[in-house]
Amino acid sequence: MVSVSPNPGDVELVTIYEISKILSSSLDLEKSMYEVLNVLEVHLGLQRGMVTLLDDSGELKIAAARGLTAEQRRKIQITVREGIVGEIVKTGVPAVIPNVAKEPSPPLNLPPIEPSDGERVSFIGVPIKSNRHCFGVLNVERTYKSAIAFQRDIRFLTMAANLIGQTARLHQAVETDRSRLMEEKHRLQKELDGKSRPDNVIGLSKRMNEIFAEVKHAATSNSTILLRGESGTGKEVVARAIHFASRRKDKPFIKVNCAALSDSLIESELFGHEKGSFTGALRDHKGRFEQADGGTLFLDEIGDVSPSFQAKLLRVLQEREFERVGGTKTISVDVRLICATNRDLEEMVPKGQFRADLYYRINVVSIFLPPLRERREDIPDLVWHFLNKFNIANGRDLSISPEAMEVLKSCAWPGNVRELENCVERTALMARYSMIADSDVPCQRNQCLSTLLWRSRIKPIDIPAVTSLPQAPVRDDSAQAAADSGQAESQRERLIKAMEKAGWVQAKAARMLNLTPRQMGYALKKHGIEVRRF
């Protein structure tokens, strides 16, 4: 039997066929190139191989490697300015090192491969090109055979590199198109969100977009709506948005602050009164219910009305009928009611402070407005809105630096949007230059009104100024241990509360507790409190 050695040309043809199949079968470029190196190892007897590509910053990065340990791969430093790989990228010309062992500095600073039976190991690198532009290198190390074999290897590896280059460019084009489509999707989504967003409400955060959707749905009906949230979160603004998105937008929007009126005044204000019904009633007066007929009546701070008036209000909400103060004629109205409160009605009802039947009557649709600290991504838009408002009103042209914006974003804002507007106006008024710097923000100059407001509500913590204190004798006293534990817990709670009110700004919280920054740092460390980063 005669054994016939395989024709090198046939081996190369089969290898190229295998490489083309691999590169066209997967969208995972790194995985495909790794499999290409595997094929080269099997068919050509490569001992080590690597594919490097230029990234967006113009630096060479390893896309796939074969025959390298994880540690070796981490240590490889490749630049386009030096080394044989960098030279191939710059010139676009293949490079060959016949005997790597004789090189004073081996390629890629890798330990040379130990040849067997006195053979030599050679390095071959070919450029990866697309439209004559070189953007990578395919390099291999294999046993040296002959000069003729070198030429054949360079020709073959160049064909393989061309296939890799075409595939890499195709993947890059696909990724570019994908990024463009994603940007277009985000643009259209933003445009759609903008169309569904009420004109008078500012905010693009996820939570605000959810509220915009709730507003849109709620506006289509005549159901009573209860707006919940802390003071200053924009409940009146949302109430207006609901009204102007509804079928009643051409009718009146009437608002009443229930907390600002006594029982006698609120009854007259809401229901109206007849001439002569009480001293000073010189003529008939239409109440807010009559004024809002056909439109929307917004009752702010509904949780502050007295139980006695709640009963009168309940009848109006049920029947949409009432009599003016001092009158006997029943008046019917068509009013859409929106109520708002920052009180915990669910806690007030069991205590008898708020009628359960009235609670169920006004709580048909509830919309919870988040505090500003839970939607910090909306702060820049709000700041620019208030700053532009200030500029128009005062004939100024102020802007704000990124550093100052970061300071505003890091604050806790217990007063929410109302406090932010106050702060922006005060900062703009006192700004010395055309751009507001971080040093202009009041809290950076220990003039934060919020700090002064909350300081009286937080008890100072008695923390020693030194970190090395003599240890007291250990006593087996469970009562004393419990007392010490309770005191420590109390101190920890006050620390956390102060940090939350200060927006987790350590120096600001220290001032609120009448401590030095050093004492504050010691206290946080002592109680194991991790400072949050926003």
**What are the structural domains of the chain?**
8-175 (3.30.450.40), 206-370 (3.40.50.300), 374-465+478-526 (1.10.8.60)
**Residue 517 above 90 pLDDT?**
no
**Among 9-18, 29-38, 134-143, 465-474, the least confident range:** 465-474
Q: What is the pTM of this model?
A: 0.51
What would the mean pLDDT of 505-510 be, rounded to a whole number? 78
**Residue 494 above 80 pLDDT?**
yes
Higher pLDDT, 401 or 273: 401
**Among 56-60, 396-400, 475-479, 515-519, the least confident range:** 475-479
Q: How many CB atoms lie within 10 A of CB 29?
A: 21
**Among 203-207, 395-399, 448-452, the least confident range:** 448-452
pLDDT range class, residue 459, cuts 50, 70, 90 = very low
Q: How many CB atoms lie within 10 A of CB 230?
A: 18
Q: What is the pLDDT of residues 206-261, one digit of tens each?
A: 888 888 888 888 888 889 999 999 988 889 999 999 998 899 999 999 999 988 88
pLDDT range class, residue 510, cuts 50, 70, 90 = confident
Angle, CA 529 vertex, CA 526 and CA 533 arms, to 5°: 140
**Residue 507 above 80 pLDDT?**
no
* % of the chain residues with pLDDT over 90: 19
Instruction: Show the beta-strand stretches assigned E in 9-168.
Output: 48-54, 60-66, 95-97, 121-130, 133-143
Q: What is the pLDDT of residues 409-455, one digit of tens each?
A: 888 888 899 899 999 999 999 888 889 988 888 877 766 766 655 55
pLDDT range class, residue 6, cuts 50, 70, 90 = low
Task: Give the span between the Cα atoms of 372 and 383, in whole angstroms.
Answer: 12
**Residue 20 above 60 pLDDT?**
yes
What would the mean pLDDT of 74-83 be, rounded to a whole number? 68
- Spell out the residues 6+ positions from residue 27 whose beta carbon is closer than 8 angstroms to its own: 171, 174
Helices (H), 272-401: 288-291, 307-319, 345-348, 356-362, 379-394
**Residue 140 above 50 pLDDT?**
yes
